[in-house]
């Protein structure tokens, strides 16, 4: 260990990032990252041995909360051999190990698939899939009651005098509020942009929440504020339980109790969804105007998971927009085969890249093509 530390110290002394090209910087970054992962394993397992977050925080120079998380992760790894071995060899980071270990505790055996996700996808994708495993496992262990007991509101004032409000709301309560606020923020964002007064979206979102909280504004939107996906068999049995292979959840958010879903269904529009394996729908529509039922079907996500939609590029679930892989303005089909979801930022980046490459040129009106465009 002493020799490894000396070698890293020497590397730090010799490090001159400004003289490295991008390729060399990436290679060296990978080495530093591997060293950090290996060191994190030792820290975590020793933290679990000491089992004292205060001592760990002082020794590692992190917050008490992070120290406690390291202690908890080390303890959870004691019963997860596959995860511990991957962490020990530097294949995964402390954060990745923590997410996978929590999922494996909730659903033993899930670590094999999640380790593959950790190696092939982003940390955000791993965290999302790990959380899904935990929530689906906990759905049968009083999840709804724990969520209800965990609701909370706190507020404080920051250095600038701004008021910060922190809310913990149950999924079926929070999702409609978030959707209403984002719909109003999107309206304000587009109006400001059209009027030549563009501001970052999060400012408009703050204004939207303030408007909702202080004035109780009613916001109209084409899409529903809350969608709950429930297997028909659950309703037939009396909304009492969920068995393997069935779903009772808010797509993109997570499971809710059948009892809560029954309450929501008593005052809601009901839609029937039929799918066969992984096939939900196949259609082509040569127009930009999409029927509400089609929009809803698209926003459920891919079957059979129906986990909602997320950005194709970064995995974000915030402000996702429908985007045509082959640009619509250049004659690309308005169909599911040509439709992807991207967040606002990635959508703008993709559009700018298409414009740079000349892909946004309208097709020759005299050229032979398929069905007429509006």
What would the pLDDT profile of 200-215 be if each residue is shown by its tens digit?
A: 999 999 999 998 888 6
**Percent share of the chain, pLDDT over 70:** 87
How large is the angle between the packed helices 94-106 and 123-138, nearest 10 degrees? 20
Report which of 242, 250, 246 is spatially closest to residue 224, judged by C-alpha positions: 250
The answer for residues whose C-beta is within 8 angstroms of residue 314's C-beta and 6 or more apart is 122, 124, 343, 345, 346
How many CB atoms are located within 10 Å of the residue 247 CB?
A: 18
Whether the predicted pLDDT of 347 surpasses 50 = yes
Whether the predicted pLDDT of 122 surpasses 60 = yes
Confidence of residue 221 (pLDDT cuts 50, 70, 90): low
The answer for residues whose C-beta is within 8 angstroms of residue 213's C-beta and 6 or more apart is none
Bridge-based pairing state of the strands 320-324 and 163-168: unpaired
The CA radius of gyration of the chain, in Å to the nearest whole number, is: 25
Average pLDDT over residues 283-293: 55
β-partners of residue 248 are 230
Q: What pTM does this model have?
A: 0.71
Residue-by-residue DSSP string for 183-249: HHHHHHHHHHHHTT----HHHHHHHHHHHHHHH------SS-S---EE-HHHHHTTS----TT--EE
Across the chain, mean pLDDT equals 86
Whether the predicted pLDDT of 274 surpasses 80 = no
Average pLDDT over residues 24-28: 95
Look at 19-28, 35-44, 69-78, 295-304 and tell me which has the smallest mean pLDDT. Answer: 295-304
Is-contact 363 332, C-beta < 8 A?
no
Instruction: Measure the CA–CA gap between 196 and 306, rounded to whole angstroms.
Output: 39
Average pLDDT over residues 291-319: 76
* pLDDT greater at residue 286 or residue 101: 101
* pLDDT greater at residue 215 or residue 236: 236
Residue 298, both tokens:
């698209």
Whether the predicted pLDDT of 373 surpasses 60 = no
Q: What is the pLDDT of residues 70-121, one digit of tens each?
A: 999 999 998 889 999 999 999 999 999 999 999 999 999 999 999 999 999 8
Instruction: Measure the CA–CA gap between 38 and 29, rounded to whole angstroms.
Output: 14
């Amino acid at each position: 260990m002493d020799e490894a530390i000396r070698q890293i110290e020497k590397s730090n002394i010799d490090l001159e990032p400004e003289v490295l090209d991008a390729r060399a910087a990436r290679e060296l970054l990978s080495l530093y990252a591997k060293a950090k992962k290996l060191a994190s394993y030792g820290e975590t397992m020793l933290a679990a041995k000491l089992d004292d977050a205060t001592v760990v925080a002082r020794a590692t120079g992190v917050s008490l909360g992070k120290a406690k998380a390291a202690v908890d992760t080390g303890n959870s790894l004691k019963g997860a051999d596959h995860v511990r071995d991957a962490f020990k060899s530097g294949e995964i980071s402390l954060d990745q190990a923590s997410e996978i270990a929590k999922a494996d505790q909730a659903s033993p055996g899930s670590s094999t698939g999640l380790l593959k996700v950790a190696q092939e996808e982003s940390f955000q994708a791993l965290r999302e899939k790990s959380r899904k495993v935990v929530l689906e496992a906990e759905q049968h262990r009083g999840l709804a009651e724990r969520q209800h007991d965990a609701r909370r509101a706190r507020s404080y004032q920051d250095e600038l005098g701004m008021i910060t409000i922190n809310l913990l709301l149950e999924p079926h309560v929070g999702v409609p509020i978030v959707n209403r606020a984002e719909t109003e923020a999107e309206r304000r964002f587009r109006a400001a942009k059209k009027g030549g007064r563009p501001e970052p979206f999060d400012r408009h979102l703050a204004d939207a929440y303030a408007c909702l909280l202080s004035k109780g504004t009613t916001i109209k939107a084409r899409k529903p504020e809350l969608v709950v996906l429930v297997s028909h068999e659950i309703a037939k049995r009396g909304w009492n339980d969920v068995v393997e292979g069935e779903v009772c959840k808010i797509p993109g958010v997570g499971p809710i109790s059948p009892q809560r879903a029954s309450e929501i269904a008593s005052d809601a529009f009901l839609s029937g969804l039929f799918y066969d394996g992984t096939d939900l729908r196949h259609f082509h529509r040569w127009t930009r105007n999409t029927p509400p039922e089609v929009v809803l079907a698209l926003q459920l996500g891919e079957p059979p998971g129906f986990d909602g939609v997320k950005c194709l590029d970064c995995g974000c679930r915030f402000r996702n927009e429908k985007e045509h892989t082959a640009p619509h303005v250049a004659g690309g089909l308005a169909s599911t085969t040509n439709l992807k979801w991207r967040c606002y930022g990635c959508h703008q980046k993709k559009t700018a890249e298409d414009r740079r490459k000349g892909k946004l040129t309208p097709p020759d009106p005299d050229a032979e093509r398929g069905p007429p465009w509006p």
